[in-house]
Amino acid sequence: MKMILVRRFRVLILMVFLVACALHIVLDLLPKLERRAVRPSGEPGCSCAQPAVEAAAPGWAKARGRPGEPASAAGDGGWPNKHTLRILQDFSSDPSSNLTSHSLEKLPAAADPAEGALQGQDPGRPRPRDPAHRPLLRDPGPRRSVPPPGPSGDSSLLAKLFEHPLYQVSVPPLTEDDVLFNVNSDIRFNPKAAAENPDWPREGTENEEFLPTGEAAVDSYPNWLKFHIGINRYELYSRHNPAIEALLRDLSAQKITSVAMKSGGTQLKLIMTFQNYGQALFKPMKQTREQETPPDFFYFSDYERHNAEIAAFHLDRILDFRRVPPVAGRMVNMTKEIRDVTRDKKLWRTFFISPANNICFYGECSYYCSTEHALCGKPDQIEGSLAAFLPDLSLAKRKTWRNPWRRSYHKRKKAEWEVDPDYCEEVKQTPPYDSSHRVLDIMDMTIFDFLMGNMDRHHYETFEKFGNETFIIHLDNGRGFGKYSHDELSILVPLQQCCRPQGRCGELSWAPSPGWVGCPSPPCVCLEYWVPALTPRVSSGHLRCRAGRSPRCL
C-alpha cells in the first residue's frame, strides 16, 4: 500500500512539472501567436472589437514590414502593449514606483508626441539629403551658420573665444603613424557587405535613398565614419571638421533601426544602431536639471545624468581638448524607437504602462533597474543623450589605464593619494608618467572634472596604436554636474600635489601641445564664454557655480 502511494505521489509531481513546463512554453509563444492572429485589415483577430481610436493610441504598435506588404505580412500589425501588462503583473502599486515619472521634466506644448521630437519632425525620420551635394571631407564647403546653444542665440561670444591665440595652435604635421586609419581613396564603402551580415537590421527599400551607393568615395562616407578616420595622435577631431556638426545632426535625427542593452556598467544604457549603420550609446533622462545629488549619496551610487554627457562634450570642446566623442540630445519615442525595434527580449519584457498611462521600462543593470526606478515617458517620449561610438576594438584597440588619483570606492577606506601629500612624486617616477606628457594630460582631466564636479574618474583610455605619446580619451562623464551648491575641492588634489610653487607647474616641463596645457590661464580665458554656451544643457545654478569654480583652478 505504501509503495502505491509513493508511486502516485511521484506521478503527481511529474504531472505538476509537465504542466508548469507547458505554461512556460505557452507564455513564450504568446507574442508569436498574437502576431499571427492578425486579420488582413490589420485588426487583432479576437472576438472583442477594438475601436479605431484605441488602435491609433500611442500604446499601440504600428505594423512593420517592407513597403507594399499587407499588414498581415508585417507580422506586428495592431500589436497592443497590453501584452506587456500581462507579463509584468508584478508592477508595484506603491506610489514610489512612479517616482521617476515625476522626476522627468515636463515637455512643452510644442513637444506633443504627434508633432515629433525635433520641431515637428518624426524623431526617427532622417533628414533628407541632396545626393548631388556631397562636400569633400577636407573641404568645409558652404555651411549653414548654426548659432550656438546660448540664451540669445548670438554666436559672437564663441566666435571671439575661438579667435584667442590658445585656439590658433596648429597640430604638428601628421605622418602615417599619427593617424588612426590610413584611408585608401580607392577603397569604396560598400553597405551591401554590411547588409549581408545577419546582425545588421534590414528595413526594406525605403532606406536606400539615404544609404551610400556603394560607388561612393571618401567624400560621401557616413559622418560617423568620417569622424573615425579623422582621429589622430593629438585629438579625436579637428577644430573645424564639418563632419562633427553633421554627426551631431545625425545623432538627433537619424532613424533608429535596432536597440539593445549595453552589457556591464552599473546603470541602464542602450546601444542604438542607425539607418546609416552608425551606433551610439543612449543614456535616458533620470533626473531634471534642477535636481542635485543628495548630500548623503556616495559618488559611486549617484545617478548618471544624460545632460552631463551633453554638457561635458561642449565643455571639452570649449576648453580645446577635443577628447570627448560627439554627444547630442534627442527626444526618443519609447514605443516606436525602442520597444518596436529591439531584439533584446530581456529589454522588451521590462516595458509596461504605468498607472498614469505612461510608457515605462527599466531594463537590467546593477543599480536602479526595477519597477521602483523605471524610466517613464510623457506619455511615450523620453529625453536622453546619444554619444557616438569610437571605432570598434577589432579595428582600433584601446588601452585602459587606472587613474593614479582614483578614489577608493569604499564607504570607509581612503585612497593613498588622500593621505600621502607626496603621492605625485611617486607617480612621476612610474611609467608612463615618468617620460611622457601623461601627467600633463592628467592635470587637464583634473580641471575638466573639477569644473563638472565629476568624482567618478576611476579609469581612462588611450589608443594603443599611438603608444604613450597621445591624448587621454575623456569617456563616461555622466556623474558630472550633480551639485551646483558644493565645490568638491578634493578633485583638485592632483593640481595641488603636482603644480606647486607660485602657480607655476613645479618641475614639470609644460611644453606647447595642440590643446592648451598651460597651468592657470585657460580656465580664466574660457570663463566668460562657456557659461552661455552650456545654458540649455545645465541649470542656472550649475552655471553660477561653474563661474565661481574656474578661478579656484588657479
**In the chain, what are the domain boundaries?**
2-91, 170-388, 398-552
What local confidence, expressed as pLDDT, does residue 374 receive? 92
What is the structure's pLDDT at 155? 53
pLDDT of residue 539: 54
416 is in an annotated binding site: no
Computed over every residue of the chain, the mean pLDDT equals: 72
Place 519 in a pLDDT band, splitting at 50, 70 and 90. very low
Residue with the larger pLDDT of the pair 24 and 431: 431
pLDDT at 211 over 60: no
Average pLDDT over residues 424-438: 91
pLDDT of residue 131: 39
Least confident of 6-15, 28-37, 294-303, 345-354: 28-37
Q: How many CB atoms lie within 10 A of CB 490?
A: 14
Question: Is the Cβ–Cβ distance between 478 and 305 less than 8 Å?
Answer: yes
- Distance, in Å, from the CA atom of 338 to the CA atom of 256, rounded to the nearest integer, reads 8
Q: Is 387 annotated to bind ligand?
A: yes
Mean pLDDT of 288-299: 79
The answer to whether 358 and 376 have CB atoms below 8 angstroms apart is yes
Mean pLDDT of 9-14: 90
Mean pLDDT of 336-342: 95
pLDDT-based confidence at 375, cuts 50/70/90? very high
What is the rounded average pLDDT of the residues 159-183? 85
Grid cell for residue 74: 508585417
Is residue 7 very low, low, confident or very high in pLDDT (cuts 50, 70, 90)?
confident
Query: Would you say 117 is a known binding-site residue?
Result: no
Residue 461 annotated as binding site: yes
Is 203 annotated as belonging to a binding site?
Answer: no
Q: Give me the residue label for grid cell 534627442.
A: 330
pLDDT mean over 377-395: 95
Q: How far apart are CA 65 and CA 59, in angstroms?
A: 19
Percent of the chain at pLDDT > 90 equals 42
**pLDDT over 70, % of the chain:** 61
Whether 302 has a binding-site annotation, put simply, is no
The contacts found for 98-103 with CB under 8 angstroms, 24 or more apart, are 98/354, 98/355, 98/356, 98/374, 98/376, 99/372, 99/373, 100/286, 100/360, 100/373, 100/374, 100/375, 100/376, 101/354, 101/356, 101/358, 101/360, 101/374, 101/376, 101/378, 103/286, 103/287, 103/288, 103/291
pLDDT at 308 over 70: yes
Which triple of cell numbers denotes residue 184? 585608401
To the question of whether residue 283 is assigned a binding role by annotation, the answer is yes
Of 38-52, 246-260, 485-499, give the lowest mean pLDDT range: 38-52
pLDDT: is 436 or 523 the higher one?
436
Confidence of residue 300 (pLDDT cuts 50, 70, 90): confident
Alpha-carbon Rg for the chain, nearest whole angstrom, is: 27
Most confident of 47-61, 160-174, 390-404: 390-404
pLDDT band at 32 (very low <50, low <70, confident <90, very high): low
User: Which pLDDT value is given to residue 551?
Assistant: 52
Residue 36: per-residue pLDDT: 59
Average pLDDT over residues 539-554: 52
Q: Which residues are catalytic?
A: 456
**pLDDT score at 355:** 94
pLDDT score recorded for residue 5: 86
**Residue 156's pLDDT is what?**
62
Handedness of CA 498, 501, 505, 509 (dihedral sign): negative
Task: Cite the beta strand spans of 275-380 per DSSP E.
Answer: 279-284, 327-333, 352-353, 359-361, 375-376
Mean pLDDT confidence for 21-26:
85
pLDDT bucket at 265, cuts 50 / 70 / 90: confident
Give the pLDDT of residue 164.
83
Q: Return the minimum-mean-pLDDT range out of 39-43, 225-229, 354-358, 414-418.
A: 39-43
Note the pLDDT of residue 541: 56
- Bigger pLDDT: 84 or 232? 232
C-alpha to C-alpha distance for 316 and 326, rounded to whole angstroms: 10
The answer to whether the annotation marks 304 as part of a ligand binding site is yes
Q: What confidence category does residue 509 fall into, taking pLDDT thresholds of 50, 70 and 90?
A: very low
Question: Mean pLDDT throughout 128-156?
Answer: 41
The predicted structure's pLDDT at residue 335: 94
Average confidence (pLDDT) over 238-267: 91
**pLDDT tier, 484 (very low <50, low <70, confident <90, very high otherwise):** confident
User: What is the mean pLDDT of the segment spanning 227-231?
Assistant: 95
What one-letter code names the amino acid at 554?
L
Lowest-pLDDT range, 44-53, 217-226, 327-336? 44-53
Cα torsion for 98, 382, 456, 501, to the nearest 10°?
-130
Greater confidence (14 vs 33) lies with 14
| 347 labeled part of a ligand binding site | no
Distance CA 256, CA 522 (A): 39
**Band (150; pLDDT cuts 50, 70, 90):** very low
> Which run of H or of E encompasses 383?
strand 381-388
pLDDT score of 346 more than 90: yes
Whole-number pLDDT of residue 304: 86
